[in-house]
Amino acid sequence: DPKIIQKPKYLVAVTGSEKILICEQYLGHNAMYWYRQSAKKPLEFMFSYSYQKLMDNQTASSRFQPQSSKKNHLDLQITALKPDDSATYFCASSQDGWGVQDTQYFGPGTRLLVL
């Protein structure tokens, strides 16, 4: 029952190009997140949004920009792609980002390969 949708499932990109990863949640949640999982590192927090406002940004690079056009959307734009960006990107959501004890539910991920 996919209440959190991520598109596309797979993505192949050329070094230097730009891609947008889509995330939509239909759980009625107010907080959304992005995480990254690569072969080299465990699941790594990237961003958190609550009520469409950025709460926390742990990415060192400005090449990663979240975009929230609606409360239940949090897309991730990645510019100037590098091979090191190859990873699976997971979107997650929780009822309220202010509450640290909210359960986060994850989407199926977008697997990005940068050649």
Partner 1 sequence: GEQVEQLPSSLIVQEGASVLINCSYTDSASVYFPWYKQEPGKRLQFIIDIRSNMERKQTQRLTLLFDKKTKHLSLHITATQPGDSAIYFCSASMNYNQGKLIFGQGTKLSIKP
- Which residues here bind partner 1, judged by CB under 8 A? 4, 31, 33, 35, 42-45, 48, 50, 55-56, 58, 90, 92, 94, 97-109
Neighbours of 13 (CB within 10 A): 18
Instruction: Determine contact, residues 74/88, Cβ cutoff 8 Å.
Output: no
If the CB atoms of residues 7 and 79 are measured against partner 1, the closer one turns out to be 7
Find the shortest distance in angstroms from Cβ 113 to partner 1: 15
If the CB atoms of residues 2 and 83 are measured against partner 1, the closer one turns out to be 2
Find the shortest distance in angstroms from Cβ 19 to partner 1: 20
CA 32/CA 29 separation, integer angstroms: 8
If the CB atoms of residues 14 and 100 are measured against partner 1, the closer one turns out to be 100
